[in-house]
A and B are shown apart, each in its own frame.
Chain A
Amino acid sequence: MTAGGGRRKIPAPVRTALVGLPLVGFALVGLLAPVLAPADPAANDLSASLLPPSADHLLGTDQLGRDQLSRLLHGARISLTVTAAVLVISVTIGVLAGTVAGYLGGWVDRIVARIVDMAVSLPGMLVALAVIGVRGPGVENLVVAMSLWAWAPYARIARARVAGLRASPHLDALRLLGAGPVRVIGRHLLPPALAPCLVYASTDVGSIVLGVATLSFLGLGIPPPQAEWGQMLIEGRPYLASAWWLAYPPGIAITAVVFASNLLGERLAVGDERPSVLRWVLPSRLRLPRPRRPAPGTPATVESRRSAESRTTVDDDVLLRVRDLSVAYPRDGGIRRAVADVSYAVRRGETLAIVGESGSGKTTSALAPFGLLDPGALVAGSARLRTGSTARELIGLTFRHRRHVNGRQVGVVFQDSLAVFDPLRSIGAHVDEAVRNAGSRGRRAAVRRISEDLLHLVGLPDPATVAGQYPHQLSGGMRQRVQIAVAIAGEPELLVADEPTSALDVTVQARLLDLLGQLRDELRMAMVVVSHDLAVVTRLADAVAVMYAGRIVEYGPLDTVVRHPDHPYTRGLLDAVPRPGAAPGTRFRTMPGRAGAGPDDTSGCAFAPRCPIAVAECGHDQPVLLPVGPDQAHRSACPRTRAAGAPPPLLALGDLDGG
């Protein structure tokens, strides 16, 4: 199965199944031992004692003339029985106890947690020895002895998992629907708690098999004459030099099972816990059929480049010029573009807004020039950043060179202000670091003074106090201000802000946008702002690039784009914004369908399926960004509106001006 495909990559579920194969083999051998074994494992034949491997006895015979192969197979059966029993008992007890404790919380949780702590801290072998010492050896006692310490880790895993889920709105929703605790626990908490436990169990198989063998080796496990691996080892020990076939096979079997179980545990734990187990069990149910995609690199690339080059304008003030930027990710053995042929430019003191829905490639387009994407991203095209009189190509910069650009010439503000800060370091430490990175040498106190000035600059009233606080102690708006302070520490010429206000309240949002605008003017920075909300960027932007399915569909001065949108998608986006003049109860205007997936999913216009004015050609001709009317600055990628002449303004101007 592995060799057949040559260099072809084996899909993950198949690999998991392959890794699990040895354990499945172990289970099968154990189950089928009575059928597979050529002889009775307990049948003595002193005339045939200590025979080396031969056709009659594939693994030879022991000192009592018993067939070694049969004993090995029956040994697997005993190991399997004990392992299965221990796992069933300990997973059941552990998951139930952990789930109930995690769900109920309070004193129940505290008691269960203490018991679990005790059980985990006791040395398992000693507990087992004590139990067997009291109750004597035997399969049942062995199972009891091993379950006593094996359940605790499961309880701990399940409890942690459920405690994490307890606060989630999903349980609130269920409670509101009227679901009782039995249903909540049984249907909604046990399955997610069980999944990581099963992953752990796959590793536990090895330790239980080893434990059974160890106890038997010590004469405390399975009593003779039953065949058991540990016991076979101890019986074979005196003959190590003379009859190697006695000790080696059980030793190899134990090692193999332990290895296989650890390997499987490793494999399952790599991915996200729940799906990989499910995928392993039910490979087909979770996978959606995916349509085949056309090969990347459509002919339109060349055409758009030619059209762009034919109108070279000399513009010295342009700080960042991105040309024909494409970003692709390797996926499913192929390469798939997330962004295709994106070109934009920003001048000093100017703000460009990149607007689009989730998945439209707006963030990717803004961050790609600065190497801020996933390391697996393949970036092509050009992004030239002007510094002084020279321009530096950003695409393909090495990490070392990039350090001189990021943080000094370019500052970046991300959407999730909690995720960008190290929760264990104070705000002051973060800003200090940015100040030092920007090239300030000097004593701590001097650096801290600069940091506090920066915090003051971004409108935090009491910089000294804020500097001593930790990220979680600040509100979202304050953290976003700190992020801005960090971003401007190096006095960058360009500030890139990725959804800087999306998670914030409107009032906070308005103040932050004003702050950004003010800083841009004071520091004469260029700015690229990414947002899904056209209304938000009107506060700040000079120019807008509207993106859809990884391409820019309309580009131009903010006023023109908002007042005279050309592309049907831009009009749809504008329509969706609630309007101040609308009477209460007016329906919101919407676009049919859902967002297009990526630039490589269709050969034509990605918006065509949702477009009210699309014709058949739209489905196969890739539209090119061309000027709308005489104004070279305003471009749109819709040939239909071009053909029809100037489109009527979609919103009456009275509407827009708040009438």
Chain B
Amino acid sequence: MLEIEQLTADHPRRHGRGRQSVVEDVTLRVAAGEIVGLVGESGCGKTTLARVVTGLHRPRAGLVRFDGADVHALRGRALRAHRRQVQMVFQDPYLTLSPAQTVRQALAEPLHIHRVGNGRSRAARVDELLDLVGLGPAVGGRRPRQLSGGQQQRVAIARALALGPRLLVCDEPVTALDVSVQAKILNLLCDLRDRLGLACLFISHDLAVVRQLANRVAVMRHGRIVEQGPTGQVTGDPRHPYTRALLAATPAIDLGVTDRSRRHASGPAGLS
């Protein structure tokens, strides 16, 4: 469904002249109903890749095709139609929601933009969206700062889903959240894939999350993809040394690491 071919993208250099490549020669595919995890450290070009895929940033070379059509050649009506197919979820939900809008207003906004339905059918769709992401109707009247981080991210996801996209690009959607909240958002993405057949390009620096969530994994470093394949293969039998380093650094409750505790066999200092 989504095909990224030999994509190269750059930014103007912050100091000095010229442009600096941040994504180089990336080829990646996302099929319908598939979650593809894209893993790498900050500054490796993940976010730029996401912005190129969604059309927010123009590539220097290469193609992004969605359903066979070049995303960056779309104009006018075709572009509007494409917008309904591909949506994005950002890292910080609070920053992506308008502080003055209530949740209901935020969710109805894409429907207004694309002139979908009338007042009543929009309200019904908003109810449906709230339900879809597991938020009660009471949340609808609140503003972003009255919500917890997890709720904000749910609202952001619901807004991205309002137009019924087929691909969701998620840029570090759970990095700003607590571990316990994170799990719920990840389950929500799994559910959406299973129920709606939604495809997802899931960008994260956390291999532990991607390992459990994604069908396929691509590992990115310095703008290039160094390894990609089915999740089990990449995490179980990593070929590239960088993938191995990432795996080793991934926090996990693995009791082999906690041998320090055995040294302090007496446990924590008494409370008295």
Contact = CB atoms under 8 A, between A and B. Distances in A.
Does B associate with A? yes
Given A350-B264, A633-B266, A588 B183 contact: yes
Given A533-B179, A578-B208, A308 B272 contact: yes
A177 interface: yes
B190 A585 contact: yes
B252 A315 contact: no
A311 B41 CA distance: 48
Contacts of A560: 267
B179 A288 contact: no
A110 interface: no
A125 to B, nearest CB: 37
Contacts of A390: none
A311 B272 contact: yes
- Interface majority SS (helix, strand, loop, mixed), chain A: mixed
Nearest to B109: A177
A578 B91 CA distance: 19
Interface string B212-239: 1111000000000000001110000000
A536 B251 contact: yes
Interface in B79-99: 79-80, 83-84, 86-88, 90-92, 95-99
Nearest to A558: B261
A217 B194 CA distance: 77
Interface string B143-178: 100101111000010011001000000000000001
A476 B160 CA distance: 30
Contacts of B254: 538, 580, 656-658
Nearest to B162: A177
Contacts of B213: 578, 584-585
Given A542-B260, A573-B180, A595-B148, A313 B113 contact: no
Which of A274, A538, A556, A634 neighbours the largest number of chain B CB atoms within 10 Å of its CB? A538
Interface stretch (A7-15, A341-349, A614-622): A341-349
B187 interface: yes
Contacts of B206: 506, 578
A515 to B, nearest CB: 13
Contacts of B42: 476, 505
Interface stretch (B20-28, B120-128, B241-249): B241-249
A313 B272 contact: yes
Contacts of B54: 176
Interface string A294-319: 00000000000000110111010110
A227 B151 CA distance: 59
A227 B12 CA distance: 62
A497 B149 CA distance: 23
Interface in A573-612: 573-580, 582-591, 594-595
Contacts of B130: none
B95 A594 contact: no
B167 to A, nearest CB: 12
A591 B187 CA distance: 12
B88 A176 contact: yes
What bracket does the count of chain B residues touching chain A fall in? 35 or more
B240 interface: no
B251 A539 contact: yes
B237 to A, nearest CB: 14
Contact of B215 (A540, A543, A584): A584
A155 to B, nearest CB: 21
A535 interface: yes
A577 B174 CA distance: 13
Contacts of B98: 170, 188
B268 interface: yes
A634 to B, nearest CB: 7
Contacts of B260: 351, 517, 540-542, 558
Given A506-B206, A577-B252, A590-B187, A169 B258 contact: no
A508 interface: yes
Which of B56, B206, B253, B270 neighbours the largest number of chain A CB atoms within 10 Å of its CB? B253
B254 to A, nearest CB: 6
Contacts of B251: 506, 509-510, 533, 535-536, 538-539, 577
Contacts of B149: 358
A47 interface: no
Contacts of B269: 315, 317-318, 321, 345-347, 350, 543
B211 interface: yes
B225 to A, nearest CB: 17
A357 interface: yes
A559 B150 contact: no
B205 A505 contact: yes
Contacts of B99: 192, 274
B270 A555 contact: no
B250 A177 contact: no
A357 B163 CA distance: 33
A626 to B, nearest CB: 11
Nearest to A310: B272
B181 A579 contact: no
Given A176-B87, A582-B211, A542 B268 contact: yes
Nearest to A532: B178
A305 to B, nearest CB: 10
Interface of A: 168-170, 172-180, 183, 187-188, 191-192, 274, 286, 288, 308-309, 311-313, 315, 317-318, 321, 323, 343-347, 350-352, 357-358, 475-476, 505-511, 517, 532-536, 538-543, 555-560, 562-563, 572-580, 582-591, 594-595, 625, 631-635, 656-658
Nearest 3 interchain pairs by C-beta: A633-B267, A543-B268, A345-B269
Given A177-B83, A580-B250, 13 more contacts: A174-B109, A177-B163, A344-B271, A358-B178, A506-B246, A555-B271, A557-B267, A558-B258, A562-B253, A578-B208, A584-B215, A584-B231, A656-B255
